[in-house]
Structure formats: C-alpha cells, structure tokens
Amino acid sequence: MKKVETTNKHKGSLYCSIFGHNFQVSKKVTYHVKEYNCCNCKKQMTTNGNGYLTELTDKFKEINAVLERIHKNKMKRFAKNKEAFSNLKMTS
Ligand SMILES: [Zn+2]
C-alpha cells in the first residue's frame, strides 16, 4: 500500500521553515506600505506603520484598504496641483 501525501502547501512551509520565506510584492498600497506574498507557502505579510514586516491579518487588510484609498486621493490632488502650478509658472 502506497500512501503519498505531500501537499505543496506542506512542502512549501517546510522549505520556508528551513530557508526562510520567499516574499514577493503582491500589492503596492502606498510608497512605503506594500503587501507581500510568499511564493512557497502563500503566507501574506505587510509593512506596518513602523516599516517592519508583519503578518497580513484582517485588521491590516482593513488598514491597508484605507491607506490605499487615501493615497490614491492624494495622488489625484497632487496631479491637479502640479498642473495648476505649471500654469501659474507659465503665465508669470
Ligand atoms: Zn513561506
């Protein structure tokens, strides 16, 4: 009787526990906050307010969603300001 039960998930986390996670950026929230995904075990991490990596819990997902919205709004406003500023420069 053969019983081979090695799921990729298990293999991945074993690999990670020996060699460490292989994180790749899965999402850019702001310039400083990014979400990471381990390509071996699919563990999700994020940058917290102190710039350290922390596990991406539901709480952090919520925070990141808010940060992302604020960041996008800022970018929109910044683009508008820049346009107004260059117009001002040309006329003066
Ligand atoms: Zn991993």
Is residue 78 classed as helix, strand or coil in its secondary structure?
A: helix
Q: What is the mean pLDDT of residues 44-61?
A: 93
The answer to the question of residue 25 being in a domain is: yes
Q: How far is the CA of 23 from the centre of ligand 1 (A)?
A: 7
Render pLDDT for 58-92 as a digit per residue (tens, 0 to 9).
Answer: 999 999 999 999 999 999 998 988 888 888 776 65
> Rounded to 5 degrees, what angle do the CA atoms 22, 18, 23 make?
10
Residue 18, in any domain of the structure: yes
Is residue 2 situated within a structural domain? Answer: no
Residue 84: inside a domain, yes or no?
A: yes
Q: How far is 86 from 1, CA to CA, in rounded Å? A: 76
Burial classification of residue 16, based on how many CB atoms lie within 10 Å of its CB (0-12 exposed, 13-18 middle, 19 or more buried): middle
Neighbouring-strand partners of residue 46: 35, 54
Indicate whether 3 pLDDT > 80.
Answer: no
Q: What is the pTM of this model?
A: 0.71
Q: Is residue 36 part of a domain?
A: yes
Within a domain: 17: yes
Indicate the number of domains in the chain. 1
Task: Calculate how far, in angstroms, residue 10's C-alpha sits from the geometric centre of ligand 1.
Answer: 10
Instruction: Say if residue 55's pLDDT is above 60.
Output: yes
What domain range is 76 assigned to?
Answer: 8-91
Q: Could you tell me if residue 1 is inside a domain?
A: no
